[in-house]
Amino acid sequence: MKRRKIAAGNWKMNKTFSEGRALASAIAEGMEPSENLVILGVPAIHLKAVANTAKKVKGLEVAAQNCHQAESGAYTGEISVDMIKSVGAKYVIIGHSERREYFNESHELLAQKVDATLSKRLIPIFCCGEPLSIREEGTHVAHVKKQLEESLFHLKTKPFEKIVIAYEPIWAIGTGVTASPAQAQDMHKAIRQLIADRYSERVADETSILYGGSVKPANAKELFSQPDVDGGLVGGASLKADDFLKIIGSF
């Protein structure tokens, strides 16, 4: 099975309800027919409205930006996988570097969130990546390997095949600094090899691996043209319909 090309937006903590509805509508109206997949990762207040918009457009889906690992309970302020599924979202972003850093999410916790997401037949977009200090030490592959081993590689082959991976060099998120196309390709190739070593070449070849880190219209085409880069997890540029539509058109 050929792996899908994906342009995923991560709105982070941005957009009021009316602003989010307008942005989703502008993206939906501007999309051209394609076999590629577009995913909007939106705050919880937008999930239902954006899912309703996405239903009308082939190739447009919605992701929650986080979930709780428990099915339900006394977890004020959290959102469960059942809640996410009930509004029509099909994806969940798990392990974003901001969640790891600001909310101290551990590898073990992320493994539980992955399991919770898959248990309800939703698809995790699992984020991994290294800070600048690790990159400068040259141990970035080992760093990402540990993230994958402790949060994903407990999965058997069938559930792992549903995973989308997003590689985020933390030093390039929101900084305006982007990994060069060669740096992105080298890391994506290394991740694909780690998957092949754990599962098989076939599974590795079918896994979509996205690049996340200051993706914008000016660099998307060159990044996405790399043989192991299957698209992007886009932050700031996904908040402007024109910019995001240009990125979607970069494949």
List pLDDT tens digits, range 56-109: 999 999 999 999 999 999 999 999 999 999 999 999 999 999 999 999 999 999
Q: Length of the chain, please?
A: 251
Give me the pLDDT at residue 80, please.
98
Inform me whether the pLDDT recorded for 1 exceeds 90.
Answer: no
Q: Is 4 helix (H, G, I), strand (E, B) or coil?
A: coil
The amino acid present at 167, given as its one-letter code, is Y
Host H or E run for residue 180: none
Q: How far apart are CA 160 and CA 1, in angstroms?
A: 15
Q: Note if 143 is an active site residue.
A: no
| CA quadruple 240, 110, 198, 7: dihedral, nearest 10 | -10
Rounded CA separation 126/45 (Å): 22
Q: What beta strand segments (E) does the chain contain?
A: 6-10, 37-42, 60-64, 91-94, 123-128, 164-167, 209-211, 231-234
List 68, 96, 140, 188, catalytic entry: 96
Give the pLDDT of residue 171: 87
In this prediction, residue 33 has a pLDDT band, given cuts at 50, 70 and 90, of: confident
pLDDT band at 176 (very low <50, low <70, confident <90, very high): confident
Residue 19 annotated in active site: no
CATH code for residues 6-248 = 3.20.20.70
Average per-residue pLDDT for the chain: 96
Question: Can you give the pLDDT at residue 216?
Answer: 95
Q: What's the confidence (pLDDT) of residue 131? A: 92
Q: Which of 68, 98, 168, 188 is catalytic?
A: 168
Contact 191, 234 (CB under 8 A): no
CA atoms of 108 and 43, how far apart (whole Å): 24
pTM above 0.85, yes or no: yes
* Six token digits for residue 6: 């994906």
What percent of the chain is modeled with pLDDT above 70? 100
Q: Is the pLDDT of residue 19 over 80?
A: yes
Query: Is the model's pLDDT at 175 over the cut of 80?
Result: no
User: Are the C-beta atoms of 91 and 39 separated by less than 8 Å?
Assistant: yes
* CA 114 to centroid of chain Cα atoms: 13
Per-residue confidence (pLDDT) for residue 200, from 0 to 100: 98
pLDDT of residue 174: 74
Confidence category of residue 2, pLDDT binned at 50, 70, 90: confident
Please tell me what DSSP assigns to residue 155. Answer: S
- Is the separation of the CB atoms in 239 and 13 below 8 Å? no
Helices (H), 152-216: 157-160, 181-198, 201-206
Indicate if the pLDDT at residue 177 is higher than 80: no
Please check the confidence at residue 179 and state whether its pLDDT lies above 90: no
Report the 10 Å Cβ neighbour count for 106.
11
Question: Residue 17 and residue 46: Cα distance in Å, rounded?
Answer: 6
Whether pLDDT at 137 is above 80: yes
